[in-house]
Amino acid sequence: MDCFQITGGKRLRGTVPINGSKNAALPLMAAAILTEGETVLKGVPDLADTRHLAFLLEKLGLAVTREENGDFRLKVEDEMNCHAEYDLVRKMRASVCVMGPLLTKRGRAQVSLPGGCNIGDRPVGLHLQGLSGLGADVDLIGGDIHLKRKKLKGCEIFLGGPFGSTVLGTANVMMAACLADGTTVIESAACEPEVVDLANYLNACGARVSGQGTPRITIEGVDELHGCEYTVVPDRIEAGTFMIATAITNGDVKLTNCRLDHLLALVDRLRAIGVNIERTADGGVQVSTSRRLEPVTITTQPYPGFPTDLQAQTMALLCLADGNSLITEKIFPDRFQHVAELNRMGARLRKEGPTVIVEGVKQLIGAPVMASDLRASAALVLAGLIAKGRTTVSRVYHIDRGYERIEQRLATLGADIKRIPE
Ligand code: EPZ
């Protein structure tokens, strides 16, 4: 296993291109199950998660090749195997997004229940509620979900649930509805840009999806979908992470291939903290800081609210604000694995239920810390970039799941960070 060795204090400067979105690429890859003919996905990031899903799709009968230029070619060759096994799903929960495509295209699906992960319980009840609404028979046998239905039938489905909506649940139901008989309306659908990207890809393949990006998505079922060439939307969470890395080091960095319109909730909070964020004439985004960081209050919400995937990174930044901040996590109430590790670095964080009180300190001190989940690990790297002395972040395989060569890209911006075998 590798770790990152970071010596803090270097201000980040330069330009960083943002990659395609991991959370868009995964459902887009799964959607290729629905199509006749070849799909070419451009801008898919080379991550542990995308490689893992490619492996699962191959086991499900797709030919998946990554070209030299990074393009992903996907084509269904065999529809016999419809079983996404436990050993694969437990390693990456997002594998559940093969459920809807398998069911609607092949009439059956067997997918292991993903169980929990480091950020808390990861139920799929809303996915199953939506798919059974479309007529699927759903059984839980030996830890696997078994779904069956020769031809799904469109209907009205409410996906609100206790947290406002479900991103992958919306993706699963939307994909399943594309080949169902008749019209499906998803009420309280997720509005995330990654869901919009999936709907746009499906329409490019001949589907008839409308309302994507709003809480009501309508899908007119069609008989068949063809493949197409499609470019993945830029990764708003990666962009937000680099914005915060710039702010925490008092740097001055330009992001390219960054959809600022997908980050308005983060931009609102960063500007309140005192971070300068401006569009450049050539379509980039310039990030810098010019004064002490101000404390703020943050509550994570479904899109377009403040993203839970940027909560940990923003907490690292607020450790150095001039006063007390409050961060409340409403999507994954247990998503605070980074709190104890940041406190090891001299932060003053106190958890009260779903809220963390962040008491600003003058300085963080480097220490050996351990990564636990993707975004908590990114937060520890950001803290190490500014902490006094050396920080060693172990188990960086968590970070490799969602950020491509992050240490090389940070080093290019001037950070003193190296990957070393643990
Ligand atoms: C997606 O996960 C993202 N993953 C997550 O990003 C992200 O944190 C999450 O959406 C919220 O924005 C991918 O897109 C691959 P949800 P998803 O279903 O779809 C509850 C990262 O770091 N819920 O929107 O699995 C659930 O427990 C990852 O990149 C139910 O109650 O999340 C949670 O509290 C982490 N029943 C809330 O809804 C269900 O059937 C939101 O979950 C489904 C979800």
User: Model confidence over 260-314: pLDDT tens digits?
Assistant: 999 999 999 999 999 999 999 999 999 999 879 999 999 999 999 999 999 999 9
Give residues (CB < 6 A) around ligand 1: 23, 26, 94, 121-127, 161-163, 166-169, 194, 308-309, 331-332, 374-375, 402
Nearest ligand 1 atom to the CA of 120 is: 27
Residue 196 predicted with pLDDT over 90: yes
Cβ-defined contacts of 135-138 (< 8 Å, 24+): 135/180, 136/103, 136/176
Which helix (H) or strand (E) is 110 found in, with range?
Answer: strand 108-112
* Tokens at 408, concatenated: 């090389």
**Class of residue 419 by CB neighbours under 10 A (exposed 0-12, middle 13-18, buried 19+):** middle
| CA–centroid distance, residue 270 to ligand 1 (Å) | 24
Range with the lowest mean pLDDT among 16-20, 158-162, 204-208, 237-241? Answer: 158-162
Separation between Cα atoms, residue 222 and residue 207, nearest integer Å: 6
| CA–centroid distance, residue 241 to ligand 1 (Å) | 19
Q: Whose CA is nearest to atom 8 of ligand 1?
A: 309
| CA–centroid distance, residue 27 to ligand 1 (Å) | 13
Residue 139, beta-bridge partner list: 146
Task: Say what the pLDDT of residue 281 is.
Answer: 95
Task: Say what the pLDDT of residue 290 is.
Answer: 83
Range with the lowest mean pLDDT among 31-35, 85-89, 357-361? Answer: 85-89
Task: Say what the pLDDT of residue 371 is.
Answer: 85
Per-residue pLDDT, averaged over 191-205, amounts to 98
* Tokens at 135, concatenated: 């007529």
Residue 20 predicted with pLDDT over 90: yes
Task: Say what the pLDDT of residue 121 is.
Answer: 76
Which helix (H) or strand (E) is 327 found in, with range?
Answer: strand 324-328
Q: Which of 3, 82, 97, 117 is catalytic?
A: 117
* Active-site residue flag, 117: yes
Task: Say what the pLDDT of residue 115 is.
Answer: 66
Identify the band that residue 155 occupies on the pLDDT scale cut at 50, 70 and 90: very high
Pocket test for ligand 1, best of 168, 301, 313, 330 (most atoms within 8 A of CB): 168
Q: Which pTM value belongs to this model?
A: 0.97
The set of residues, in sequence order, having a beta carbon less than 8 Å from that of 142 and lying 6+ positions away, is none
Per-residue pLDDT, averaged over 340-357, amounts to 97
Task: Say what the pLDDT of residue 116 is.
Answer: 64
Pocket test for ligand 1, best of 331, 374, 399 (most atoms within 8 A of CB): 331
Residue 82 predicted with pLDDT over 90: yes
Nearest ligand 1 atom to the CA of 162 is: 31
Q: What is the DSSP string of 386-405?
A: HSBSEEEEE-THHHHTTSTT
Closest CA to 285 of 258, 315, 319: 258
Nearest ligand 1 atom to the CA of 190 is: 24
Asked whether the beta carbons of 27 and 168 are under 8 A apart, the reply is yes
Residue 330 predicted with pLDDT over 90: yes
